[in-house]
């Protein structure tokens, strides 16, 4: 049963975002001053961040269904083709702390807008690349540009939203990510089947530009942000404080394992279904990404459940759903594989929604930095595990990939077990 610390992490007693500058913290605004669920400001915020989440995953993962095409056209093999995705997620992970720190000086919205506009333009450039090394360099730059979105968006949300609605708003933001991931992959696969991968990526870049306009139009102004001057020593102190919190470190590890498992499964699913005995076309394989709709439902639902019940219970339940879905993908029947992918996707987005929201609520100060550390681990899992899965695909086919994903999922369940037994930090116990 959750104690008072658990209730604090769900909202009560959680302090507002503390910036990374080391100056004196502003007095917390009363809960009524924050954006409450059901208000016009709440709807605008959700519309803006939904567009941001949609575009982030669409631009970042648009190349995933194209990996077999890259392998054939550029002669890279499965693991080599995966670099078109892994380099993006890798540079994104490394740059997250810098981008979130920049947002403490310039403000959240300007950083998010610059990230979205520049990454959309870079995606248009990728569509024109003729050389594999140039394509990889542009994809790495795309990840660098996108680093200004995920952690900053989460920090904006935790800063501005009334505590009882944080889980719901976070779930809707991640739901936008799920729909963006689905739509981007599906659109790219269908367009690549009929017009080639260059046209497919060009359209994706144009969609990113539209999403940037929507973010600019709908995201309400920040009411709790105070710009601060950069302070590297304070940044280092808050970093060490986060890494000294056992609960946060476990949440960072959870992000690595969850995303590593998820990206590995999706990276090599296309290779499996394009080959005999299935022999599906790229459009048909892309249609399987409609299972992301289950992720949209899961992120919003699990986010709401985590506000009402213990995160310590909802998180392992979501990961168990992932494990059940993975088991179904081991069957030879195509319908069972699709059902397994849908179940795995549902569990993943539910778990990610709970874990990412938990980070912002558990961190006492420097919440953008805490979210950045979570996402650094999250995208590092995508980059490292996603490429490692290609070696296992080459060595053992789907059995090798599924075994690797099963190991990551089992470790994620173990981490959730440790989280359930980790007490809240001292500041939460003092807040009561």
Q: What is the CATH number of the domain that holds 126?
A: 1.20.1250.20
Quote the number of domains for the chain.
Answer: 1
Give CA separation, 16 vs 23, 46, 69, 225, 380, in Å: 15, 19, 47, 10, 28
Does residue 16 fall inside a structural domain?
no
Q: Which of 20-24, 208-212, 351-355 has the lowest mean pLDDT?
A: 20-24
Does residue 244 fall inside a structural domain?
yes
**pLDDT band, residue 143 (cuts 50/70/90):** very high
* CB contact at 8 A, 131 and 180: no
Does residue 5 fall inside a structural domain?
no
Q: What is the pLDDT of residues 237-287, one digit of tens each?
A: 888 888 999 999 999 999 999 999 999 999 999 899 998 999 998 888 888
Does residue 40 fall inside a structural domain?
yes
As given in the structure block, the two tokens for residue 367 are 């919440």
Q: What is the pLDDT of residues 51-63, one digit of tens each?
A: 888 888 889 989 9
Question: CB under 8 Å to 241, separation ≥6 — which residues?
Answer: 364, 365, 366
* CB contact at 8 A, 46 and 169: yes
How far, in Å, CA of 82 to CA of 394, rounded?
Answer: 13
- More confident position, 277 or 94: 277
**pLDDT band, residue 16 (cuts 50/70/90):** very low
Does residue 166 fall inside a structural domain?
yes
**Percent of the chain residues topping a pLDDT of 90:** 41
Q: Is 264 left (phi over 0), alpha (psi -120 to 50) or beta?
A: alpha
What's the pLDDT at 366? 75
Does residue 13 fall inside a structural domain?
no
Does residue 1 fall inside a structural domain?
no
What's the pLDDT at 7? 38
Cα Rg of the chain, angstroms: 20
Q: What is the pLDDT of residues 329-344, one digit of tens each?
A: 999 999 999 999 999 9
Name the residue range of residue 162's domain.
33-220+229-431
Does residue 27 fall inside a structural domain?
no
């Amino acid at each position: 049963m959750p104690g008072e610390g658990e209730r604090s992490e769900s909202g009560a007693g959680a302090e507002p975002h503390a910036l990374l500058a080391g100056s004196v913290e502003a007095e917390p605004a009363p809960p009524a001053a924050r954006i409450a669920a059901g208000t016009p400001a709440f709807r605008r915020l959700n519309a803006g961040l939904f567009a941001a989440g949609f575009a982030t995953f669409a631009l970042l993962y648009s190349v995933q269904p194209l990996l077999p095409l890259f392998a054939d056209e550029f002669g890279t093999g499965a693991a080599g083709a995966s670099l078109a995705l892994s380099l993006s997620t890798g540079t994104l992970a490394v740059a997250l702390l810098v981008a979130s720190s920049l947002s403490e000086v310039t403000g959240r919205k300007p950083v998010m807008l610059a990230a979205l506009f520049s990454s959309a333009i870079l995606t248009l450039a990728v569509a024109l690349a003729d050389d594999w090394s140039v394509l990889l360099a542009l994809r790495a730059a795309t990840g660098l540009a996108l680093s200004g979105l995920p952690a900053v968006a989460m920090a904006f949300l935790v800063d501005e939203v009334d505590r009882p609605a944080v889980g719901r708003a976070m779930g809707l933001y991640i739901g936008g990510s799920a729909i963006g991931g689905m739509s981007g992959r599906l659109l790219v696969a269908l367009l690549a089947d009929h017009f080639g991968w260059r046209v497919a990526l060009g359209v994706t870049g144009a969609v990113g530009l539209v999403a940037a306009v929507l973010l600019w139009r709908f995201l309400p102004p920040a009411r709790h942000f105070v710009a601060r001057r950069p302070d590297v020593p304070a940044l280092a102190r808050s970093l060490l404080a986060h890494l000294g919190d056992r609960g946060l470190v476990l949440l960072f590890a959870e992000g690595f394992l969850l995303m590593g498992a998820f990206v590995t499964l999706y990276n090599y699913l296309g290779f499996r279904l394009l080959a005999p005995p299935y022999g599906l076309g790229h459009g048909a394989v892309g249609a399987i990404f409609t299972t992301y709709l289950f992720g949209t439902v899961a992120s919003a639902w699990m986010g709401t459940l985590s506000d009402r019940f213990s995160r310590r219970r909802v998180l392992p339940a979501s990961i168990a759903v992932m494990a059940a879905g993975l088991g179904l993908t081991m069957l030879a029947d195509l319908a069972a594989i699709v059902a397994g992918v849908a179940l795995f996707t549902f569990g993943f987005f539910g778990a990610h929604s709970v874990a990412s929201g938990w980070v912002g609520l558990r961190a006492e100060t420097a919440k953008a930095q805490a979210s950045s550390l979570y996402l650094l681990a999250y995208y590092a899992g995508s980059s490292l595990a996603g490429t490692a899965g290609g070696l296992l695909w080459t060595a053992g086919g789907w059995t090798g990939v599924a075994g690797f994903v099963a190991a990551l999922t089992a470790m994620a369940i173990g981490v959730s077990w440790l989280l359930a037994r980790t007490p809240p930090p001292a500041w939460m116990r003092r807040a009561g």
